[in-house]
Structure 1
């Protein structure tokens, strides 16, 4: 890897300040005006060069977190594994990171950063902590812009936009890989994926979203290290799963994950079920459901986490519930039991929050009620908190299987014709007319005659 960066001057790249968030520009200029180096870094630079609109703007600087905090009253310091500064604006948070070193010479003995004015001696020392398996647990050792670029995950994410002269700084040959459409790790991919197994998932996500290919050595490392993905924490893997399948390229993500062997380790029993046939037919509904979700996301229609999970795993849970019904369990109990079984399988690997799981169960249970048209009290069905998602689930199933179109049409018409505006709490209109009940007085007993 080159030690001297390639500098692409303003006239040779397409990024303009007009494309950058005004809040990010404020942060960059205040850091620069106070004598600090300040770069836009990471995915926002990559996306701007590709003509895509970034979701957020990240800043890297030589200012320490406490120095950043002194410059911005709206700053909050966050994180243990990576110490970051969040600059809060009304509608946006700009994340500011201090340039990180590749690794300290003596892990855990790095010099503590200077204290902010008025701060007592309790700030954490910058530390680099690695597990026995080589996974980075904490990384607060500050370094140079070059070190910071070379410790990033992929070459296309190591580009920096310098606010001082509006140039692009490339330490890792990222511009070439961007032109060629390649996802390549910086350095040895086995080492980089061992440091942080979630980088394997990120490689899949970037390849799917950008339409890039994964470079051969990087691809082989993913295949080799796929079983280690479960070393990442279960809550973090849940968040990464949402990013993967709500990216607008979820179906391609799914195919790449299965080819790379990652899907089998993220969803072991579900993956085994996918490999089996039911009634002589393969399980293809998840792929079609993800295509439907991609269409929704691409059209600007939000897909909630409960709806995503219901669409991905609904057929599996329904089949498990069918087995319980055959054993004599009532249908609602069977759906609840099947859902609990699925959550139990996933809990050690991907921690699905309890409230999300309850909403998924409600979406699946409502399918039983929607099938009965009109049924008793259909207006009460509209009032259920998961009705819109349950109807979307039915809409997707109709698009995928062609079944239930009559039921879908009835509920869409009924919900359109019977939607009532929300009523302020306490007006009594939404609850019907309340009638005061007169307190009944007990009859007085006549005093006993002595």
Structure 2
């Protein structure tokens, strides 16, 4: 039995136990939507008439993660299920969560949810769909529609603005007219939401294979300007037409997103978005009329640190993305690199993502992939042995030669490694002899 099949069996068992105890219990929200779309859910939320304390009495392993809001986590084996009591929400004063809740009917619970396609219930015991909000019809139309008044839904929870774009992106659905107008007119309020929640939604949008659609929806709604003003600033930033016939930096970035494979890492897609954010700040025109962006890679790396820190990305994601942005112009020089430098360049931990960034950068502009192809050829050529092999000597060997630890150690060890990488030094004995003849006779 697969893990997803076991998950579904456990979820059904929880619903059955609630119903046998005399309570109403249904699957709710995204799992119902996914099943109707022919996809196997990766998690199941359960809505019930049982109050939190009744849920806790029925199940042996529970955690009251949100009992104030009627939510109990029920654990079955290695699986966890959120079991929520049907409820009405009180006033939303912070644009994120209600100040209070009151227990309610299934109809009232459905009416408080965000979009019709997420307001569906399903009874797995009776094999029956319960639709109080017209979600099934909107699913068939591939239409994302807010439940009730969209302005009310977005005022209650500002994160729903980004969720609307996320569902429009990942599902490929159109946004119903009134819902879309409400998103656009409220976009400036998205920053009332925590940076962490904004980051989570943006990541889901840009990891989607339909990320270009997400980029367009963010742009057209005003959410891009509100959440990623550094990318919005790329609009109208002209580029030298001999290298960038595709248009300004914003157009160039959008094209690159469309050239990425369906599955990407977070640092890769973010490095595509941010690799040129330093261009507006370094834009200049030579006396002969040529456009230049001197140092835009360095400025872009600095801006990327600030931007990603603002959105609370992890240090590992920041470091990987910043390195890609900082190094994306180095690729033009790879065919002139000495072997040692080239091997060190290729041995860096995120080289796969950086190669992909370089590929889509070139493909979206001048179309020349000679450096990309050169690097792949060299990777094949170097594949028979580690790019960075174990060192021939260590600091202990230098101490044995009478050298004292200090900055010169690093210089000597790096010089030995360079010759090792280039194949001119192949044994520890040869390395020590070279040090004696080149470094110990005359101080350098």
Q: TM-score range with shorter-chain normalisation?
A: 0.7 to 0.9
User: Please, which moves more after superposition, 261-270 or 57-66?
Assistant: 57-66
- Find the partner of 1:85 among 56, 73, 78: 73
- Decide which of 133, 156, 161 is 2:117's aligned counterpart: 156
Mapped to 1, the partners of 2:138 and 2:3 lie a distance apart of: 23
The aligned runs of 1:196-207 (5 Å cut-off) are: 196-207=157-168
Correspondent of 2:210 among 249, 267, 283? 249
Contact conserved, 2:169 with 2:214, CA < 8 A, in 1? yes
- Partner in structure 2 of residue 308 of structure 1: 269
- Asked whether the 8 Å contact 2:59–2:74 carries over to 1, the reply is no
For the 8 Å contact 2:121–2:129, the answer to whether it is kept is yes
What does 1:38-437 correspond to in 2, within 5 Å? 38-63=25-50, 76-78=63-65, 83=71, 85=73, 87=75, 93-104=79-90, 130-131=92-93, 135-136=96-97, 141-279=102-240, 281-283=247-249, 284-293=251-260, 296-297=261-262, 302-317=263-278, 320=281, 335-344=297-306, 350-371=311-332, 372-373=334-335, 375-376=337-338, 377=340, 378-419=342-383, 430-432=390-392, 437=397
Whether 1:33 aligns to 2:21 is: no
Corresponding residue pairs, total: 381
> Structure 1's 134 and 206: CA in aligned 2 closer, same or farther, altered over 3 A?
closer
Query: Structure 2 CA distance, aligned partners of 1:31 and 1:259?
Result: 42
Choose 225-234 or 27-36, whichever is displaced more: 27-36
Q: Which has the higher contact order (CA 8 A, sep 6+)?
A: 1
Give me the whole-angstrom Cα distance separating, in 1, the residues matched to 2:197 and 2:152. Answer: 20
Q: For the residues of structure 2 that align with 1:365 and 1:436, how far apart are their CA atoms?
A: 35
Contact map agreement 1:69 1:85 (CA 8 A) in 2: no
Distance 1:318 1:333, change over 3 A: closer
**Distance in structure 2 (CA, Å) of the matches to 1:354 and 1:341:** 15
8 Å Cα contact 1:99/1:147 also seen in 2 = no
- In terms of fraction of residues, the more helix-rich structure is 2
User: Per-residue displacement from partner, 1:84-104 (whole Å, max 9, x unpaired)?
Assistant: 5264765xx543131341225
Deviation at 1:229, TM superposition (A): 0.9
1:135 is displaced (CA, Å) by 4.2
Q: CA deviation at 1:373?
A: 2.1
Deviations 1:325-366 (A, max 9, x none): xxxxxx998644432234435755x33333322211211233
Indicate the residue corresponding to 1:11 in structure 2.
none
Secondary structure of the residue that 1:95 maps to in structure 2?
A: strand
* Structure 1 residue matching 2:148: 3-state secondary structure: coil
Q: Per the alignment, in what secondary structure is the counterpart of residue 276 of structure 2?
A: helix
Counterpart Cα distance in 2 of 1:49 and 1:380 = 51
Unaligned runs of 5+ in 1: 1-17, 105-128, 324-330, 442-450
Task: Compute the TM-score of the two structures, normalised by the length of structure 2.
Answer: 0.74
Q: Using the alignment, how far apart are the partners of 1:397 and 1:265 within structure 2?
A: 26
Question: What is the CA-CA distance between 1:231 and the residue it aligns to?
Answer: 0.7
Gaps of 5+ in 2: 242-246, 285-292, 403-444
Q: Is the 8 A contact 1:285 1:315 kept in 2?
A: no
Tell me the CA shift for residue 271 of structure 1. Answer: 1.0
Cα distance in 2 for residues equivalent to 1:86 and 1:374 = 61
Deviation per CA, 1:147-187, whole angstroms, max 9, x where unpaired? 32222110111112212211111111111222222211112
